[in-house]
Amino acid sequence: MALSVLLASCPTVTIPPAVSAIAWSRTVAHHLFHPPSVLTAASVAELTNLQVPAAVDEPAVRAFIALPSAGGGDSLPVLVLMHEFWGLSESIVEKAQGLADELQCACIAPDLMRGSTTDFVPRAIWQAVTTPQERVNDEVDAVVRWASTEGGLDATRVAVCGFCFGGGKALRYTTQRRPSAATVVFYGSPITSSAELASLQAPVCALYGDADFQFPPPVLESFRSALKASSVEHDLTIFPGAGHAFWKDMGQVERGEEPQLTAWRKVTRFLRAFYAGEAGA
């Protein structure tokens, strides 16, 4: 498989126009108690191995692409993996490779923060509130468009998975731009409007903890009710005793920790069924 690997200097981070005080305060409240994931000292340039052409007058989209270590045939399905508000990290790169190996897919993790990755919470919050959904949609569209032109990848089979910030962005991307793609949400901002969810043509897998104060059980039950009302096939799991950002690294899965191992099995079973065109994730 000939996959283009383009390494260049990081693009300059572009800060959108003013963010409202209300949006800022809500996001601060959402993220202040976000448990740290496995963070990275590596730069985005060190973590990425792909550069995808974007729209005219927009910077190219940096990404990390993981392919099956043992080779996966000539028609790999595509999984787009969206990172947390920290930015692209070694933890996300590690998960991308694990998912590519397990699912025999091409897992592409775009840098949605345009060159910035951090372990400093105020900066991470700023990154989150200044990264608009529309821009994320455009950049993920660019990634899928690139995959559709690349030999060996099957961009007719696309799924999108995200963690926290990325989980909320993933769900809104599929509802707004790519309803035919399956969606996996790890503790991301849910949608409780059945009218918004009704556009989805593919299933949703969502995973949360009941000790996550950001998305408490009543909010998640509203999400479940909206999925049912919109007739979207779904598997929404709420793990007892789990808090926000409970899956930090692949080591937790390898050691058999819970609920990480169960979450891993649920997600990989869900995506394997979707890629195979099977009903019932």
**pLDDT of the residue at 72:** 67
**pLDDT of the residue at 14:** 36
Q: How confident is the model at residue 281 (pLDDT cuts 50, 70, 90)?
A: very low
pLDDT at 51 > cutoff 90: yes
pLDDT at 222 > cutoff 80: yes
**pLDDT of the residue at 56:** 81
State how far the Cα of 100 lies from the Cα of 107, in Å rounded to an integer.
5
Average pLDDT, the chain: 87
pLDDT at 55 > cutoff 90: no
The CA-atom distances, in angstroms, between 178 and each of 114, 175, 181, 217, 246 are 22, 6, 6, 28, 27
Specify the residue for token string 């043992």. 70
- Are 90 and 64 a contacting pair, CB within 8 Å? no
**pLDDT of the residue at 279:** 55
- If we measure between CA atoms, which residue out of 80, 230, 96, 275 comes closest to residue 170? 80
> What domains are there in the chain, each with its CATH number?
32-275 (3.40.50.1820)
pLDDT at 129 > cutoff 90: yes
pLDDT at 24 > cutoff 60: no
